[in-house]
Amino acid sequence: MKILFYDVQSYDYEPFQKANEKFPEISMHYIETPITPQTAALARGYDGVCAFVNSDLSEPVLQALHEIGINLLLLRCAGFNNLDIDAAKKLEITVLRVPAYSPETIAEHAITLALCANRKIHKAYIRVRENNFTLTGLTGVDFYRSTAGIIGTGKIGAAMCRICHGFGMKILTYDVAPNPAIADLVTYCGLDELLHKSDLISIHCPLTKDTYHMIDKTSIEKMKDGVILVNTSRGGLIKTDDLIAGIRSRKIGAVGLDVYEEESRNVYENREDDILESSVTARLLSFPNVALTSHQGFFTEEALTNIAETTLQNAEAFRTGMELKNEIYL
């Protein structure tokens, strides 16, 4: 079985090569080229392709893959909001993903962003490097005995709840499907109540038609003054213009973002010498109370290993006709 990997970064090679030792019947070829309707032709002669979280998996791309006989799409990620599910179904392309490579990895990054934004660690680091040892403007607030609002209590959200519990926080949660595994740690409530009572709000839900821009002007107005907002899920969950307005009005006290709208041109690219086309990134970076990272929440050795192993397990299951446990049901 031959698999072509698109959008490959340097850190992908080692974990996949190591995982490949367990699956000798799978041959892998890596290219840094992003997948597009034009570059899909590079997969001619392969049995499947592997894409990442920022890959374009729209209908034109899937159609181009279908025309050269590709009927297996492996996602080396959990999210699939970049996938045209209806097109995949119509073209009979099997899509397999990595649903839970390391929930704690993402949750740990979320609390890191929360702490960084709250205690202004990103500002303090730069100051000290420039021999400025003043503390003016670096005041934060205690998490101990404050209230954390966790939106989405799947595996990542549940891990975040456990971390917040360790900080001595009261935890309010909102999810359409409550998680019994954390019932003794949290209090489920309506979204409006969570927004109104939480000192820290962390988002851990998928991006769907129903959750798109769930954080907007209306929801921000319901939040506490000085609230800390963290998003490590998908950028489209927050309406960025409304977020910026909330920061400027000082309704929002601090923000930690690993994802944001219009990030696709920037993610995993070195653009230090470029003029950014979108003003979103520049505006977010202009605020001293915003801590921004480039979709690195997944980026630990353990998570990379789990991603590689699960991706190849998915390919092996497809090759051998075994149960496809990680199929995206269409």
Q: Which residues are catalytic?
A: 234, 263, 295
Q: Are 234 and 261 in contact (CB under 8 A)?
A: no
Structure tokens of 260?
């944001």
Cα–Cα distance measured from residue 19 to residue 130, given in angstroms and rounded to the nearest whole number: 44
As a whole number of angstroms, the distance between CA 311 and CA 194 comes to 36
Identify the bridge partners of residue 49 per DSSP, sorted by sequence position: 4, 73
130 and 144 Cβ atoms separated by less than 8 Å: no
Q: For 203-235, give the DSSP string.
A: E-----TTTTT-BSHHHHHTSPTTEEEEE-S-G
Token readout for 45 is 């002669």
Strands 187-188 and 252-257: unpaired
Identity (one letter) of the amino acid at 253? Answer: G
- Cβ partners under 8 Å of residue 295, min gap 6: 53, 54, 258, 259, 263, 267, 268
CA-wise closest residue to 223 among 144, 317, 151, 136: 151
